[in-house]
């Protein structure tokens, strides 16, 4: 962590001790732990920009207490205390995280101030009137007072500043939700807690809590004891074997794309040619943007490594001084060679994702999934099983395929996306990293579905359950491969 003076003002001895003290350190740990928990519980995925907590220290007056903020661009499940920013009460940055080695992007402090929080793409946001999964809810944050009636003025100011909001967060107290009147959601939640507990007990007894006469519940949930104590309410997501036996229940399913959710022909005959045919146009049109310059930097790094290793097809990329046209020409030659060799490298996949994004935006591309995929995804989602994607394609490309598919937007059934930034798909350490990210107690609670034998071997070595997908156009498996196989997701 590098400390900096703000506007030429040096921190006093007391403030410096506070800045480097246990209270600030504990707050950094708290935010990183919360980010990982938010991800593991499936509440919030993506990066952790502007998650903010005020540093509590009784020896520091409230107006002078510091603020810790998570950085923009770091995935929640990989957040660590050293990634945090420390801000002054007025929002000036006092400490910045040290940059990580290339090719990691430099840390960035979010432009969002710690005066409100924005919520979007959350399942339970629909509980707030007028909001759905894709809507954005802005929640102003105000200071707590000794008595609730004293909050009136602050609540009024918050509503005046954010007229479209339906909720205000009071620090260290709870959320107030606007209906016919302001309701303390903390008290409301305590009431719901008892109702929820009663509903679970009725469910355990085989009764349907949604009907007045408590008729028999239709769905059989395994792992519920007759004593009324819920030991495990996860739904069996095992793979069917030829003798109709099932593997142990799974909490998560991780899916490959090519040859598993999507025909290989779509990738090889549609996506790859589109990227190859449009790489020059894309680089020329976006050459000066920050995103494309980052893509070029990553490609330079990869090509230099390829040249040192003598990789076929690698050609030197001239410096920027040579001019835009020469640089683009060399990049096109390298990308074309990489695509023909079907290389699973981040530099290529990141650029392809950006090119495909343009194709989807122009309706020149539409994602393709097998007919059984939407029904299976919905079934698993409704059963409480978290479904993730792990593909060599970038996470952007994955979202594009499932967000713009021949069956519409399927992303609501997916809990997250993994790409080669977690590691090569044929290395067991990559699957161990995924297990850590999805938050299960043991690897066997994760089922990995792929069409590639080497990937199946790597996942099995990491302790995951594995099923091999048999689809039209997929390569042949070795004899006596030892893995369960399916021809449709509906068999799972």
Asked whether residue 406 falls in the same domain as residue 458, the answer is yes
Q: What average pLDDT does this structure show over 401-426?
A: 92
Asked whether residue 402 falls in the same domain as residue 296, the answer is no
Percent of the chain with pLDDT over 90: 39
**Mean pLDDT score of the chain:** 77
Distance, CA of 430 to CA of 354 (rounded, Å): 24
Whether 31 maps to a domain, the answer reads yes
Asked whether residue 387 falls in the same domain as residue 346, the answer is no
Q: Which residue has the higher pLDDT, 53 or 288?
A: 288
pLDDT digits (tens, 9 = 90+) for 138-173: 667 666 666 655 666 766 676 666 666 656 666 555
Highest mean pLDDT among 94-98, 215-219, 274-278: 274-278
Helix H, strand E, coil C: the string for the chain is: CEECCECCECCCHHHHHHHCCHHHHHHHHHHHHHHHHHHHCCCCCCECCCCEEECCCCCCCHHHCCEEECCECCEHHHCCHHHCEEECCCCCEEEECCCCCCCCCCCECCCCCCCEEEECCCHHHHHCCCCCCCCCEEEEEECCCCCHHHHHHHHHHHHHHCCCCCEEEECCCEEEEECCCEEEHHHHHHHHHHHHHHHHHHHHCCECCCCCCCCECCCCCCCECCCCCECCCCCCCCCECCCCCECCCCCEEEECCECCCECHHHHHHHHHHHHHHHHHHHHHHHCCCHHHHHHHHHHHHHHHHHHHHCCCCCCCCCCHHHCHHHHHHHHHHHHHHHHHCCCCCHHHHHHHHHHHHHHHHCCCCCECCCCCHHHHHHHHHHCCCEEEEECCCCHHHHHHHHHCECCECCHHHCCEEECHHHCCCCCHHHHHHHHHHHCCCCHHHEEEEECCHHHHHHHHHCCCEEEEECCCCCCCCCCCCCCEEECCHHHC
Answer yes or no: is pLDDT of 318 > 60: yes
Asked whether residue 353 falls in the same domain as residue 396, the answer is no
Whether 318 maps to a domain, the answer reads yes
pLDDT digits (tens, 9 = 90+) for 369-409: 999 999 999 999 999 899 999 998 888 899 999 999 999 99
Residue labelled with tokens 């000036």: 92
- The residue segments making up the domain with residue 466 are 252-261+367-491
Asked whether residue 278 falls in the same domain as residue 256, the answer is no
- Please give the pLDDT value at position 41: 73
Q: What is the CATH number of the domain that holds 316?
A: 1.10.720.60
- Please give the pLDDT value at position 310: 92
Q: Which residue has the higher pLDDT, 193 or 286?
A: 286
**Residues with a known catalytic role:** 123
Asked whether residue 408 falls in the same domain as residue 334, the answer is no
Whether 201 maps to a domain, the answer reads no
Whether 105 maps to a domain, the answer reads yes
Answer yes or no: is pLDDT of 287 > 90: yes
Asked whether residue 372 falls in the same domain as residue 479, the answer is yes
Answer yes or no: is pLDDT of 260 > 80: yes
Answer yes or no: is pLDDT of 115 > 70: no
Distance, CA of 297 to CA of 303 (rounded, Å): 10
Asked whether residue 406 falls in the same domain as residue 468, the answer is yes
- Examine the fold and report which residue of 89, 112, 135 is the final residue of a domain before the chain moves on: 112
Whether 155 maps to a domain, the answer reads no
- Examine the fold and report which residue of 47, 80, 112 is the final residue of a domain before the chain moves on: 112
- Examine the fold and report which residue of 46, 77, 112 is the final residue of a domain before the chain moves on: 112
Whether 143 maps to a domain, the answer reads no
- Please give the pLDDT value at position 362: 92
Q: Which residue has the higher pLDDT, 197 or 425?
A: 425
- Please give the pLDDT value at position 210: 53
pLDDT digits (tens, 9 = 90+) for 196-247: 556 665 666 666 555 544 444 444 433 333 333 333 333 344 444 434 333 4
Distance, CA of 27 to CA of 95 (rounded, Å): 14
Asked whether residue 283 falls in the same domain as residue 372, the answer is no
Q: How many domains does the chain have?
A: 3
Distance, CA of 190 to CA of 174 (rounded, Å): 12
- Please give the pLDDT value at position 19: 81
**Range with the lowest mean pLDDT among 45-49, 54-58, 250-254, 422-426?**
45-49
Whether 41 maps to a domain, the answer reads yes
Q: What is the CATH number of the domain that holds 407?
A: 3.40.50.1000
| Radius of gyration of the CA atoms of the chain, in A | 26
pTM over 0.85: no
Asked whether residue 382 falls in the same domain as residue 465, the answer is yes
Whether 141 maps to a domain, the answer reads no
Asked whether residue 357 falls in the same domain as residue 309, the answer is yes
How far out from the chain centre does Cα 364 lie?
A: 27
Asked whether residue 327 falls in the same domain as residue 430, the answer is no
């Amino acid at each position: 962590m590098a400390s900096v003076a703000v506007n030429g003002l040096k921190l006093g001895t007391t403030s410096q001790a506070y800045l480097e003290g246990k209270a600030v350190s504990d707050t950094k740990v708290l935010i990183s732990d919360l980010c990982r928990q938010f991800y593991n519980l499936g509440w919030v995925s993506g990066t952790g920009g502007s998650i903010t907590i005020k540093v509590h220290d009784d020896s520091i007056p409230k107006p002078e207490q510091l603020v810790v903020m998570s950085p923009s661009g770091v995935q929640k499940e990989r957040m660590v205390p050293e990634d945090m920013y420390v801000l002054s009460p007025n929002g000036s940055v006092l400490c910045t995280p040290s940059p990580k080695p290339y090719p990691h992007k430099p840390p960035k402090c979010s432009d969002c101030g710690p005066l409100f929080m924005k919520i979007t793409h959350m399942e339970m946001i629909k509980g707030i009137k007028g909001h759905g999964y894709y809507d954005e809810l802005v929640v102003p944050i105000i200071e707590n007072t000794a008595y609730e009636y004293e909050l009136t003025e602050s609540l009024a100011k918050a509503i005046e500043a954010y007229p479209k909001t339906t909720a205000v967060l009071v620090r260290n107290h709870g959320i107030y939700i606007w209906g016919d009147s302001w309701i303390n959601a903390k008290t409301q939640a305590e009431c719901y807690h008892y109702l929820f507990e009663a509903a679970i007990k009725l469910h355990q007894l085989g009764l349907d809590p949604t009907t007045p006469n408590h008729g028999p519940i239709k769905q059989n949930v395994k792992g519920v004891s007759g004593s009324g104590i819920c030991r495990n309410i996860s739904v069996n997501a095992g793979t069917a074997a030829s003798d109709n036996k099932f593997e142990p229940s799974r909490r998560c399913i991780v899916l490959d794309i090519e040859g598993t959710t999507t025909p290989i022909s779509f990738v090889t005959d549609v996506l790859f040619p589109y990227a190859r045919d449009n790489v020059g146009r894309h680089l020329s049109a976006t050459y000066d943007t920050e995103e494309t310059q980052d893509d070029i930097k990553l490609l330079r790094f990869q090509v230099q490594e390829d040249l040192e290793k003598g990789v076929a097809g690698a050609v030197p990329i001239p410096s920027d001084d040579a001019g835009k046209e020469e640089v683009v020409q060399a990049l096109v030659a390298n990308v074309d060679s990489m695509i023909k060799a079907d290389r699973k490298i981040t530099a290529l996949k990141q650029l392809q994702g950006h090119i495909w994004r343009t194709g989807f935006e122009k309706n020149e591309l539409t994602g393709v999934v097998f007919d059984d995929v939407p029904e299976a995804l919905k079934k698993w989602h409704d059963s409480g099983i978290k479904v993730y994607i792990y593909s060599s394609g970038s996470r952007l490309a994955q979202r594009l395929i499932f967000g713009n598919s021949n069956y519409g937007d399927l992303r609501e059934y997916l809990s997250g996306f993994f790409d080669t930034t977690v590691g090569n798909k044929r290395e067991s350490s990559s699957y161990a990293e995924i297990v850590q990210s999805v938050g299960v107690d043991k690897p066997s609670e994760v089922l990995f579905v792929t069409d590639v034998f080497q990937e199946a071997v790597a996942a099995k070595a990491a302790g995951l359950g594995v099923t091999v997908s048999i689809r039209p156009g997929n390569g042949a498996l070795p004899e006596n491969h030892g893995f369960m196989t399916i021809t449709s997701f509906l068999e799972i």
